[in-house]
Structure 1
Amino acid sequence: MNKLLFITLIVLLSQVLRAQDVSLLTYNIKYDNPKDSINNWENRKTFLISQLRFYSPDIFGTQEALFHQLQDIQIALKQYQFFGLGRKHGDEEGEHCAIFYNKNKVQLISQNTFWLSQTPNRPSKGWDAALNRICTYGVFQKKNSNDRFIVFNTHFDHVGKKARIESSKLILKKIQKINTQKLPIILMGDFNLEMNTEGIRIILKELQDTNLAAGKNAFGPVGTFNGFHFHKPVTRRIDYIFSGKDDFTILKSGILSDSKDCHYPSDHFPVYTELLFKNN
């Protein structure tokens, strides 16, 4: 075979394969609390944003972000657009579970937000939760591809034990109701639940943990919640990216413990994954 033709075929093949995979990241970026002193948003946002720029996921979900934090990220990362509502009143106030997407890589088809409560269609607090909690989702299509998929991004309550269990059940019911076309599913966020808890076991009946499914292609520490304690082992894993069991091949997954000058950019580590659509 002509050498130039061979190289051209390899390049075209790599482009086709790239169109068939999707990279995602979930990140509790810690809300902007001036009382955090050295770890306040102004001191860590530059490194956090550069971290996002380096990994450059097609889609990333944030938890705890206030609207001005979302704006800071979007201003710096101009190829991304975000959507989502504040959990307090369904406007710009309060913490968001926003989803950012690279406009050059994926197209947003539709989006919405619901509350983790008995009245999910309006701002509300559910069961024994301490705060309003939400789940934001978007239907996407890969550019230069027919692949459509749905991404859900959430943040479970940190107090309510029943609320966390019922939130798992509610999200699975919502996925079933929303996903009438049987599209590939991704669920990510801060679940405030470790692996051996009932809420996670409920989710794993329907979805797979991409970090575990990656096997030898998983990288990083065991835990995701570091509490800004740089010199302590991180063993508590409460942040996850789940996917439909028959939707994707898990190419790789990482819990990203990047730091600068002995400081973490957030009190949670982000979780990153690359997925290959199984229909291809």
Structure 2
Amino acid sequence: MKIRAATFNIRNSSAPDGDNAWPVRRDATVAAIEHLDADVVGLQEVLPDQLEYLRWRFPRYEIVGVGRDDGMDAGEHCTVMVRPGDWRVDKQETRWLSDDPGTPGSVGWDAHLTRIATLVWLRHRNGTTVGVANAHYDHAGEVAQLQSSRLIARWTTGALPWIVMGDLNATPDSPALKVLTEAGLRYAVPIAAGGSWHDFTGAEDDERIDHILVSAGWTVDEAAVSHYRPGGRLPSDHWPVMATLSL
């Protein structure tokens, strides 16, 4: 039983990115998602107009997640896309990375912004259930990053196999990531695979802040950072990270 998982920060459409602005690169972003050939994709920084576009371009996918500002539509989403096939969404919820995870818009600790995680329970056609957590940590608050990992570790413990992924805004040697590995999660994508953030430079050796981690029980068959540039266009300021897993 296999699942191919990917995480991709698509860069929000409100950013003043000039030649790399969302209207210019949105076709390349879709092509990059298609190229991942993944069963489940966790996206970050998805604003409502981007979500509408993705729903239009991927009409057969299950696409879930709510806006971080109000728990409905407002603000960035940590969207989870599940393509039609062996897996379907059994249950999903969004939680806030704060000391009040059930309150929409809550800001945690020293975070500069509201941050969220979308948790999805996927059921295989044979009845097996696995968990997927797609998170976007704060970019500046080190305490918030650490506490966010403690929340994620707590939410993904137990017998259920979990895939934890997202833009965690932290490198593998950071205290926040060590919380996850000390909780029993392990990296699916080797650190030697290269960086994931490049700030629209196309660099492949910058910091790895986008991660896929898995709980016990998963076997990693293949994993990589994707450097696909559809038509030579950078699809985002991050590279997607992907892994094929067996259970």
TM-score interval (norm. to shorter): over 0.9
Which whole-Å deviations, capped at 9, do the CAs of 1:207-227 have from their partners, x for residues lacking one? 0100129xxxx8xx5100010
The count of corresponding residues between Structure 1 and Structure 2 is: 245
- What corresponds to 1:184 in structure 2? 161
**CA distances 1:142-188 after superposition (whole Å, capped 9, x unpaired):** 22x23210000000001111000011011111223xx5xx2110000
CA distance in 2, matches of 1:261, 1:228: 15
1:210 alignment partner in structure 2: 188
Equivalent pair of 2:153/2:180 in contact (CA under 8 Å): yes
Indicate the structure whose relative CO is greater, using CA pairs within 8 Å and at least 6 residues apart. 2
* Partner residue, 1:88: 69
Contact 1:53–1:77 at 8 Å: present in 2 too?
Answer: no
The aligned amino acid for 2:245 is L
Structure 1 length normalisation: TM-score? 0.84
Within-5 A mapping of 1:155-234 = 155-176=136-157, 179=158, 182-205=159-182, 206-212=184-190, 221-230=193-202, 232-234=203-205
Q: How does 1:25-44 map to 2 (within 5 A)?
A: 25-33=6-14, 35-44=16-25
Q: 2:100 aligns with which of 119, 122, 137?
A: 119
> Is residue 2:104 matched to residue 1:134?
no
Shift of residue 263 of structure 1? Answer: 3.4
Q: Percent identity?
A: 30
- RMSD, aligned CA: 1.6
Partner secondary structure for residue 211 of structure 1: coil
- List gaps (5 residues or longer) in structure 1: 1-19
1:235 aligns with 2:206: yes
Residue by residue, what CA displacement relative to the aligned partner does 1:82-132 show, whole Å, maximum 9, x if unpaired? Answer: 111111111111000011101333111111111000111102000000011
The SS at the match of 1:35 is coil
CA distance in 2, matches of 1:212, 1:254: 8
Q: Which residue in the other structure is 2:133 paired with?
A: 152
Q: Name the structure 1 match of 2:51.
A: 70
CA distance in structure 2 between the aligned counterparts of 1:210 and 1:228, rounded to whole angstroms? 25
Matched to 1:209, the amino acid is: Y
CA distance in structure 1 between the partners assigned to 2:25 and 2:140 by the alignment: 27
After superposition, give the CA deviation of every residue in 1:47-84 in whole Å (9 maximum; x if it has no partner): 11112123221100100011221221221122212111
Where has structure 1 moved over 3 Å in runs of 4 or more? Answer: 260-263
One-letter identity of the residue aligned with 2:227 = S
Q: Which has the higher helix share?
A: 1
- Aligned residue for 1:153, secondary structure, equals strand
Question: Which structure is larger by alpha-carbon Rg, 1 or 2?
Answer: 1
Preserved contact between residue 146 and residue 175 of structure 2 (Cα < 8 Å): yes
- Aligned residues of 1:30 and 1:65 also touching (Cα < 8 A): yes
Contact 1:228/1:263, CA 8 A, preserved across alignment:
no
